Amino acid sequence: MIIQPANRTLSVKEYYFSIKNKEIARLNAQRAAQGLDPVINLGIGSPDGAPSEEAVEALCACARKRGSHGYQSYIGIPELRQAIADWYARWYGLELDPSCEIQPLMGSKEGILLLSLAFLNPGDKVLVPNPGYPTYTSATRMCEAELVPYNLVEADGWYPDFAQLEAMDLKGVKLMWVNYPNMPTGAPARREEFEKLVAFARSKGILLVNDNPYGFILNEPQSILAIPGAKECCLEMNSLSKSHNMAGWRVGMMLGAADILQELLKVKSQMDSGMFRGIQEAAVEALKAGPEWYEALNAEYRRRREVACRIMDTLGCTYDAKAGGLYVWGRVPETPGQAGGDVIADSDRPSPAQVLSDKILYEAGVFLTPGFIFGSNGAHHLRISLCANVETLNKALKKICAL
């Protein structure tokens, strides 16, 4: 390499699923040469269903219009901001001002980095859940800020221990990431937990962000911004990826106080030139979906979850069959000599779930996500994605039963 990478890249690695997908591609080439079926990938949560016909038609119609293909506004078309406001009013009971309290994003993942760039200086501290979405950690590190992990454990229902939080050294903490309904654990959003989180953030002067893409998937939609006083200290992210089968379309949103969103816009406006208008118009139509859309979506995911739970049973894992979201999260059975706690202290030692995941991948041709990628408190857990149809899940079950 002719020049050295920036120091910030030394603190992060290539995204786990990027690495794993390349490994699976290599395995599939080998399996094809041996006359074997490709690996069944039950890893990442990329919905396999289609968006609504209305959304697809809106995209196609816009794409055919002369003048639709130029740069767009950095803050999104007014129709999209209004559609988001209407969606939140209808389903979350929350009034948002579409002129200043809604910032459309090219997926909520973009929002994590943009917000971090807008508010974090080197040495600032960020509260990040363990287990939690890996991008919270990588965005923090790339901004040269300091990670302050806080524990989520099964004994507490995967909710924060506020006594433990209060006892931590919080000097210098500017930002806190939360994610309810939770990924990877499936813990639901609860108003009482939101109330505690808002009170904590206000008392400590911390900007708290709830990442909320799973509210409609086997869950009842709730928003942290509906808690009195939340807009003073909280933002919420959401997206159409899971709720409307539009993961590849990259339509997300950041919601909250106008002055905070203005800081985010300073960064965003330097990084892109607006979302394609056809996608924005499609999102407007998707957001008009009635209860029948979400009922059909969840009926299918319930059927899939039943099979995913049978896979967990076959592996001897314990899990919450009522958890929501796009995944089933299960604790692997303990082996002789295995520590009973949640935390794996030696990060170089393969976690119990990682060992089991690799065994299933190489011997059965099925990939299940090992929970260590979400933090040390996930080291004893596996995650099964529901983004495969019942037939595929049953095929995976049959392969695992044959081990």
Q: What mean pLDDT is predicted for residues 183-192? A: 97
146-151 β-sheet, strand order:
102-105, 252-256, 234-239, 207-211, 173-178, 125-130, 146-151
DSSP letter assigned to residue 5: P
Q: How do residues 225-261 score in pLDDT, each as one tens digit?
A: 999 999 999 999 999 999 999 999 999 999 999 999 9
CB contact at 8 A, 178 and 197: yes
User: What pLDDT was estimated at residue 396?
Assistant: 97
CA-CA distance, 256 to 85, in Å (whole number)? 11
User: What pLDDT was estimated at residue 335?
Assistant: 67
CB contact at 8 A, 130 and 375: yes
φ/ψ (deg, to 5) at 134: -60, -25
- Answer whether residue 309 shows pLDDT above 80: yes
What CA–CA distances, in Å, run from 304 to 357, 367, 396?
20, 16, 12
Phi/psi region, residue 245 (left: phi>0; alpha: psi -120 to 50; beta: rest), is left
Quickly state the pLDDT bin for 346 (edges 50, 70, 90): very low
Q: How do residues 361-370 score in pLDDT, each as one tens digit?
A: 999 999 999 9
Q: How do residues 275-308 score in pLDDT, each as one tens digit?
A: 999 999 999 999 999 999 999 999 999 999 999 9
Interhelix angle 352-364/16-33, nearest 10 degrees:
30
- Answer whether residue 163 shows pLDDT above 90: yes
Q: What mean pLDDT is predicted for residues 20-38? A: 92
Q: How do residues 78-100 score in pLDDT, each as one tens digit?
A: 999 999 999 999 999 999 999 99
**Helix locations, 208-276, DSSP H:** 258-271
User: What pLDDT was estimated at residue 17?
Assistant: 83
- Answer whether residue 123 shows pLDDT above 60: yes
Could you give all domains of the chain from N- to C-terminal order, each with its CATH number? 7-49+292-401 (3.90.1150.10), 53-286 (3.40.640.10)
Q: Average pLDDT over the chain, rounded to whole? A: 94
Q: What mean pLDDT is predicted for residues 128-136? A: 97
CB contact at 8 A, 59 and 65: no
